[in-house]
Amino acid sequence: MSVIQTPVAYKERNGTAIPRRKSCRACAKAKRRCDLMLPPPPPIPIPSSYPKAPRSGISKKSLSSPPSVKPLFTSGMSSRLRITLDVFQNAHRTMVLENQTPWCHPLLYKNGMPRVMQDAYACCSLYMNRNPTNSKTILSIIENRVAELLALKQSNDAWDCLARLQALILYQTIRIFDDDTSALVAAELTMPALQATLTHFVGNVVLEDTLLCIGGLPINCLIEDPSISGAKDYWYNWIFEESARRTLFLSYLLIRIWEVSQHVNNPQNLTASTTKSQRVGQKNKLTCDGRLGLSNSWWYWYLSSHLWEAPTRYDFALAFAEKNRFVIKDLDFSEFLALGQPEDVDLLGKMALSALMGNEKLQEWFFERGAILRIP
């Protein structure tokens, strides 16, 4: 039978009892057996000498974002055009989710959407579902649809002209605000085509004003359903006319914003073959006439959320009879600012007024009339 001896707690040395030495703190913390040896002295550090790595020729400046992908809009522009830029950037999403934009009435294509707008609508839906894996493919599909659109001969039909112009706006807003450099380059190459389409529309489409035509007619003519009574569809005619007027305005606005951004960010952003005299001439062309270049005597649009957002014929007739409506011609908002109310302002009105006044002054205008500016 083995006997387990109790460890000796003390040792006698020269008649003096000393305690048993325990494990050092490091071994106790590591839960390992300690040999009770004193720690060795630390090694003498030997200075290391390594040759410097050869310079690769890459400076910190060259590691920054390349000029082609720097922010398109400066902070000064972005603050004043915040609402406008947000609307343009999210136009594809609004078109798909709400079937409308501030320049395209939700009922504009209720009787059928032209093929060019169908393609643009489908591309907007695709673009909403992009991710790092499929982004290149989706952008390639969009470029193919744009190429097909530009290959089509321009029609003189008002509906076809409007659909072509609205489709180009959607394509351009997608590519201008995309992070891919190739998309921005493609947008730049398509700007002349957008300008040409806009010029063709202005030169070949004459718009009437339904609201002026019905000035002396009874209000019942707006309420009657033309599919039953066979009467003229005044409401739907106004929807087309107002969508066309607003599309013209937004087209010019998008082009001018693009031109200003290019001038501010890249004042020398011209081809290598451009001569010095040509550069001076193009620089001098960047002027503002206060009307975005809109010189047509018939061009204007209605600032009235009640008319634009009316969901039914009855609501439209009621808004026409009882609510304020302001005709904005040559971007003159003086009458509206004096007599208008915040409830009269729709999203297009907020875009135009914020670009004209700035967000702070527009917020003050709303506040003075007992309302708060809601920025989408």
pLDDT digits (tens, 9 = 90+) for 325-344: 999 998 899 999 999 999 99
pLDDT of 23 higher than 60: yes
The residue with tokens 């410097």 is 52
Region 298-308: mean pLDDT is 89
pLDDT tens, position by position, 204-215 = 888 888 887 776
- Other Cβ atoms closer than 10 A to 156: 11
Q: What are the residues whose beta carbons fall under 8 Å from the beta carbon of 167, sequence distance 6 or more?
A: 116, 117, 119, 120, 149
Would you state the pLDDT for residue 66?
37
DSSP lists the bridge partners of residue 19 as 10
Coil/strand/helix, residue 13: strand
Q: What is the pLDDT of residues 207-243, one digit of tens each?
A: 888 887 776 677 888 888 887 777 788 999 999 999 9
Q: Which ranges in the chain belong to alpha helices (H)?
A: 25-30, 75-80, 82-89, 91-98, 115-128, 135-151, 158-176, 181-204, 210-213, 220-223, 226-229, 234-265, 276-285, 305-308, 313-322, 334-339, 347-357, 359-368
Residues whose CB is less than 8 angstroms from the CB of residue 96 and which lie 6 or more positions away in sequence, other chains included: 121, 124, 125, 128
pLDDT 10s digits, 104-143: 999 999 999 999 999 999 999 999 999 999 999 999 999 9
Where residue 76 falls among pLDDT bands split at 50, 70, 90?
A: low
* Tokens matching residue 226: 């033309």
357, exposed or middle or buried, with CB in 10 Å at 0-12, 13-18, 19+? middle
Across the chain, mean pLDDT equals 80
Nearest to 106 by CA among 310, 306, 251: 310
Integer Cα distance of 78 and 336 in angstroms? 25
Which pTM was predicted?
Answer: 0.75
- Band (375; pLDDT cuts 50, 70, 90): confident
- Cβ atoms of 108 and 243 within 8 Å: the answer is yes
* Encoded amino acid at 32, one letter: R
Distances (CA, A) of 293 to 87, 210, 304, 318: 21, 25, 23, 35
